[in-house]
């Protein structure tokens, strides 16, 4: 297999510098890349009965050429090749445009197979290719269709793939263990690759596809399970032998009882902290499900044995909000807190850092400011990272390195579908809070057309008259010729004309400075602003309980997950809250998104729909580096083989035979496991 990974496609006959560059643009650099550059579909080249084919269907007809072919040239470099074939006593005219060179393959009296598009009304075939003559390949049954580019055609890719197969097929080594091939009735990898490119029938094509899907998932899941093993065993971690009585006392003094889902989360996190291995857990739950109080319990547990905690949030607004929330929760307890952001004044910062290093601060809440070199802890044992996918890998690593293998708890208010959590976050343990605290009123959601805006203004005024507040969301800051969207600046003017001076209207957008945004949000939070017109800079987690209405203009332009997050800005207090989606969707998907949003407030159901509609790469609103790309497998469509592969990978990784048997060397190399590495971890 090494040869396949090391050998360049540039070494193939007929692949010069230009073709090599064109292939590289398609992600093809090695022979392995080329052999696993699978067609996205196959054209069926088996001969069809003329009586069964439908109009505009692509088909293969076989007949005898009954007269010489005729070529007509017209225009600039344009041509028409015409001839007729006798198909089961039906005379079928065939026309090829701009392929006059095919005339040499059309000989009167010869049987010919022609692939083309059928015109049922005229009973004629618009030719695409000749696939059979006395001088052509009579045996080709399926035409592989590859993604190509303007620099390299589908036909050239097909030719190069065939050349690579003929030259290097003997280098393909089996990856899956024999027992898995037998258990799941899969074909050997070599056969699977061949039948992905050159299948003889649909059954072999489907079996090859199933084999490649399982192989991709299995190798990936082995990598994931191995990373889990490494995370849990690096330096063995530190056991936080917390005071159980103190933890019980903390939860007993709360003015409410935890939900069953919260209790399960607390138990899972507490068990992790007790073990002498590094916790690496994702805590996910919908907006308002109570993740913060669970995290607070972990902080109390760490504090009970003088272990410091760090809580990192992606923005200053969220960091300050978490700080205020935790400060309120910890008020009856002797837990010393500090807030560290880029806005922290120099003198205050220096004092804070000195106290942190001496162990005089139990928990520090902050932003990226926490990972700077001069931030030193006396004994950091617990890290909590909010909305972790908004931090880079190196940023998260820099914070972990400030302690001796501290426990790490990631939190997200973006409900993540199961298949995505097994891939993007597969190396973590995942805990889900899937129930809301009792008494919380679900946000009522409505979809209206723009012509209904006058009625909407009346409904907004009713809420403002009740001393409530409202968000107005727009996706753009200024005019765009390309997109017919309302923009925040114009909306602010419209809402000011409609509601001022009786009600105070303010504008918030991404081009404002951090200080300006912070000041505006604080004014809204303290009810110095009644209507906040904003772009999507309204952060996940921003908490203004008095805001009861969320109006989203051009809502069909947003993804489901983003709409759900925006809706979560309201409904955080005791009052009934509302979300109004203003949209005139032009496409079917836009209508579908509006219907989904008005039919459910279940974040996990919405996230699954969002994953299905947009795909895993765009789930977080931008391409998330943690989401793997598979060549054939699809985490939405292929959930069952993903589950099976995960199960099998977890079991194989712990087998002595896998670690020692030379038969598994290829698989260990693909996964990135060095000789003896697993034994070192387990020992």
Q: Are 499 and 492 in contact (CB under 8 A)?
A: no
Tokens of 156: 């050239």
| Secondary structure (3-state) at 422 | coil
What integer pLDDT is reported at residue 479 of this predicted model? 55
Question: What is the residue whose two structure tokens read 């090829």?
Answer: 96
Cis bond upstream, residue 408 (ω within 30): no
Rg (CA), the chain: 32
What integer pLDDT is reported at residue 138 of this predicted model? 53
What integer pLDDT is reported at residue 625 of this predicted model? 45
* Strand pairing report for 41-44 and 142-145: antiparallel
Q: How many residues are there in the chain?
A: 683
| Secondary structure (3-state) at 322 | helix
Q: Give how far Cα 182 sits from Cα of 16, 35, 186, 221, Å.
A: 42, 24, 7, 20
Question: At what angle are helices 291-303 and 260-274 packed, to 10 degrees?
Answer: 30
| Secondary structure (3-state) at 230 | helix
- Convert the pLDDT of each residue in 500-544 to its tens digit: 899 999 998 877 887 888 788 889 989 999 999 988 776 555 678
What 36-40 contacts at long range (C-beta under 8 Å, 24+ apart), as own/partner pairs, is 36/193, 36/631, 37/146, 37/157, 37/161, 37/631, 38/196, 38/197, 38/212, 38/631, 38/632, 39/144, 39/145, 39/146, 39/196, 39/197, 40/145, 40/146, 40/147
| Secondary structure (3-state) at 356 | helix
Q: Give how far Cα 451 sits from Cα of 359, 457, 458, 583, 657, Å.
A: 61, 12, 14, 10, 69
What integer pLDDT is reported at residue 403 of this predicted model? 84
| Helices of type H across 310-376 | 316-329, 346-358
Sheet holding 407-412, edge to edge: 337-340, 363-366, 308-312, 380-386, 407-412, 280-285, 429-433
Instruction: Count how many Cα atoms sit within 13 Å of the Cα of residue 15 in the half-sphere of its side chain.
Output: 24
Other beta carbons within 10 angstroms of residue 67's beta carbon come to 13
What integer pLDDT is reported at residue 680 of this predicted model? 58
Q: Are 80 and 72 in contact (CB under 8 A)?
A: yes
- Among 426, 431, 432, 430, residue whose Cα is nearest residue 650: 426
Q: Are 350 and 374 in contact (CB under 8 A)?
A: no
What integer pLDDT is reported at residue 536 of this predicted model? 75
Tokens of 405: 């293998």
**How far apart, in whole angstroms, are the C-alpha atoms of residue 310 and residue 406?**
10
**How far apart, in whole angstroms, are the C-alpha atoms of residue 96 and residue 116?**
9
Q: Are 103 and 91 in contact (CB under 8 A)?
A: no
Q: Are 505 and 492 in contact (CB under 8 A)?
A: yes
Tokens of 208: 């090859």
Q: Give phi and psi for 73, each to the nearest 5.
A: -100, 140
- Among 381, 380, 432, 427, residue whose Cα is nearest residue 232: 427
Tokens of 137: 């390949």
Burial class (CB within 10 angstroms; exposed 0-12, middle 13-18, buried 19+) of 480: exposed
Residues in the chain where the model's pLDDT stays below 70 = 132-140, 231-236, 388-390, 392-393, 424, 476-486, 538-542, 615-628, 676-683
- Among 670, 233, 666, residue whose Cα is nearest residue 427: 233
Burial class (CB within 10 angstroms; exposed 0-12, middle 13-18, buried 19+) of 219: middle
| Secondary structure (3-state) at 117 | strand
Q: Give how far Cα 65 sits from Cα of 89, 101, 120, 126, Å.
A: 12, 17, 20, 16
What integer pLDDT is reported at residue 139 of this predicted model? 61
Tokens of 60: 């293969």
**How far apart, in whole angstroms, are the C-alpha atoms of residue 94 and residue 89?**
15
What integer pLDDT is reported at residue 480 of this predicted model? 56
**How far apart, in whole angstroms, are the C-alpha atoms of residue 362 and residue 366?**
13
Prediction pTM value: 0.70
What integer pLDDT is reported at residue 242 of this predicted model? 93
**How far apart, in whole angstroms, are the C-alpha atoms of residue 626 and residue 305?**
34
What integer pLDDT is reported at residue 387 of this predicted model? 79
**How far apart, in whole angstroms, are the C-alpha atoms of residue 143 and residue 45?**
7
**How far apart, in whole angstroms, are the C-alpha atoms of residue 8 and residue 41?**
26
Tokens of 617: 């790469």
- Convert the pLDDT of each residue in 10-43 to its tens digit: 989 889 999 999 999 999 999 999 999 999 988 8
What integer pLDDT is reported at residue 616 of this predicted model? 65
Other beta carbons within 10 angstroms of residue 218's beta carbon come to 27
**How far apart, in whole angstroms, are the C-alpha atoms of residue 580 and residue 603?**
17
What integer pLDDT is reported at residue 312 of this predicted model? 92
């Amino acid at each position: 297999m090494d040869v396949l990974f090391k050998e360049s496609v540039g070494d193939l006959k007929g692949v010069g510098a230009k073709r090599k560059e064109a292939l590289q643009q398609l992600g093809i650099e090695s022979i392995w890349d080329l052999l696993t550059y699978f067609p996205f579909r196959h054209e069926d080249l088996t001969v069809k009965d003329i009586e069964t084919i439908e109009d505009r269907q692509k088909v293969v007809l076989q007949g005898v050429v009954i007269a010489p072919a005729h070529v007509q040239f017209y225009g600039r470099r344009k041509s028409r090749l015409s001839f007729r074939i006798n198909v089961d006593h039906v005379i079928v005219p065939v026309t090829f445009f701009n392929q006059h060179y095919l005339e040499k393959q059309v000989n009167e009296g010869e049987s010919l197979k022609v692939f083309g598009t059928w015109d049922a009304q005229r009973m004629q075939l618009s030719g695409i290719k000749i696939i059979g003559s006395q001088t052509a390949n009579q045996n080709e049954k399926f035409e592989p269709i590859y993604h190509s580019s303007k620099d390299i055609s589908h036909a050239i890719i097909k030719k190069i793939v065939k050349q690579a197969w003929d030259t290097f097929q003997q280098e393909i080594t089996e990856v899956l263990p024999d027992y898995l091939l037998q258990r799941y009735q899969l074909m050997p990898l070599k056969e699977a690759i061949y039948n992905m490119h050159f299948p003889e029938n649909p059954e072999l094509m489907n079996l090859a596809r199933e084999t490649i899907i399982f192989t991709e998932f299995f190798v990936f899941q082995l990598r994931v399970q191995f990373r889990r093993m490494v995370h849990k065993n690096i330096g063995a971690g530190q056991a936080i032998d917390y005071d159980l009585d103190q933890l019980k006392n903390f939860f007993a003094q709360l003015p409410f009882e935890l939900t069953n889902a919260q209790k399960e989360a607390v138990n899972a996190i507490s068990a992790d902290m007790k073990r002498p291995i590094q916790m690496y857990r994702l805590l996910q739950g919908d907006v308002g499900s109570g993740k913060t109080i669970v995290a607070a319990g972990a902080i109390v547990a760490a504090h009970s044995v003088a272990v410091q905690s760090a809580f990192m949030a992606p923005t200053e607004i969220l960091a300050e909000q978490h700080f205020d929330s935790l400060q309120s929760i910890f008020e009856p307890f002797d837990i010393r807190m500090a807030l560290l952001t880029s806005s922290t004044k120099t003198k205050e910062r220096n004092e804070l850092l000195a106290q942190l290093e001496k162990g005089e601060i139990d928990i520090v809440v902050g932003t990226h400011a926490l990972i700077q070199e001069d931030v030193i802890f006396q004994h950091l044992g617990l890290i909590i990272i909010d909305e972790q996918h908004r931090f880079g890998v190196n940023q998260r690593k820099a914070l972990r390195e400030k302690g001796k293998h501290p426990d790490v708890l990631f939190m997200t208010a973006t409900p993540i579908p199961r298949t995505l959590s097994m891939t993007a976050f597969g190396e973590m343990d995942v805990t889900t809070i899937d129930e809301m605290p009792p008494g919380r009123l679900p946000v009522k959601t409505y979809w209206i057309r723009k012509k209904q805006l006058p009625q909407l203004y009346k409904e907004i005024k009713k809420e403002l008259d009740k001393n409530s507040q409202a968000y107005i969301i727009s996706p753009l800051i200024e005019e765009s010729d390309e997109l017919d969207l309302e923009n925040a600046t114009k909306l602010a003017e419209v809402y000011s004309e409609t509601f001022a001076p009786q009600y105070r209207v303010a504008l918030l957008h991404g081009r404002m400075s951090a200080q300006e945004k912070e000041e505006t949000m604080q004014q809204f939070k303290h009810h110095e602003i009644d209507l906040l017109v904003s772009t999507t800079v309204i952060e996940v987690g921003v908490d203004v309980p008095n805001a009861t209405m969320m109006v989203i203009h051009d809502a069909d332009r947003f993804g489901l997950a983003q709409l759900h997050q925006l809706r979560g800005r309201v409904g955080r207090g005791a009052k009934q809250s509302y979300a109004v989606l203003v949209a005139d969707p032009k496409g079917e998907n836009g209508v579908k998104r509006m219907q989904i949003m008005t039919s459910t407030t279940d974040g996990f159901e919405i996230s699954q729909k969002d994953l299905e509609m947009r795909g895993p790469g765009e789930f977080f609103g931008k391409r998330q580096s943690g989401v793997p790309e598979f060549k054939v497998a699809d985490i939405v469509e292929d959930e069952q083989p993903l589950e099976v592969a995960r199960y099998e990978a977890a079991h194989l990784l712990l087998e002595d035979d896998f670690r020692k048997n030379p038969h598994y060397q290829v698989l260990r190399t693909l996964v990135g496991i060095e000789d003896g590495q697993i034994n070192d971890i387990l020992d």
